[in-house]
Amino acid sequence: MTAVPEPLTFRMLTGRVIDGDTLAGRLQTEPLRLTPGWSTVATSDLEVHLRLVTLDTPERGEDGWAKARSDVMLWLAQWPVVALRVDTYGDGGFGRLLADVYPVGRRSETLSQHMLQLGWLPWVP
């Protein structure tokens, strides 16, 4: 059986919200060191598109799209920098990384969990 690698955690400056389950931003240079022995990963100036895990919201042009996007923007507006946890689920299609997003210094609720509490639908693969 192959072991699943630990997720990497980065700080990310949020750039734009694409829809309720996809956002884009720039990774800061150093990953947060949550586990002893991590090596530095050079990520300066790297823009990434993220697909939030466990969440499925309407796409652009579908009913509810603007509301879902607004809910994400309101949550992100509380923190200028969010910690980005990139889990090793593979990519989310369309060049996006599957990720959990949570604010720096607060791990109690991810953005996906917040959106689910607001009544948005879970992602079913």
CATH of 8-117, one of 1.20.1510.10, 2.60.120.680, 1.10.3720.10, 2.40.50.90: 2.40.50.90
Compute the distance between CA of residue 105 and CA of residue 11 in angstroms, rounded to an integer: 11
Compute the distance between CA of residue 30 and CA of residue 28 in angstroms, rounded to an integer: 6
**What is the model's pTM?**
0.74
Each residue's pLDDT, cut to its tens digit, for the chain (125 residues) gives 455 456 666 677 767 899 999 988 877 655 544 444 444 444 455 777 888 888 999 999 999 999 999 999 998 888 766 766 655 455 666 778 778 888 776 666 888 999 999 999 887 76
- Check if the beta carbon of residue 75 is closer than 8 Å to that of residue 61: no
- Check if the beta carbon of residue 12 is closer than 8 Å to that of residue 83: yes
What does the pLDDT read at residue 116?
Answer: 94
> Domain ranges in the chain?
8-117
Q: Which two structure tokens, joined as six digits, stand for 4?
A: 């699943």
Alpha carbons within 13 angstroms on the beta-carbon side of residue 55 total: 30
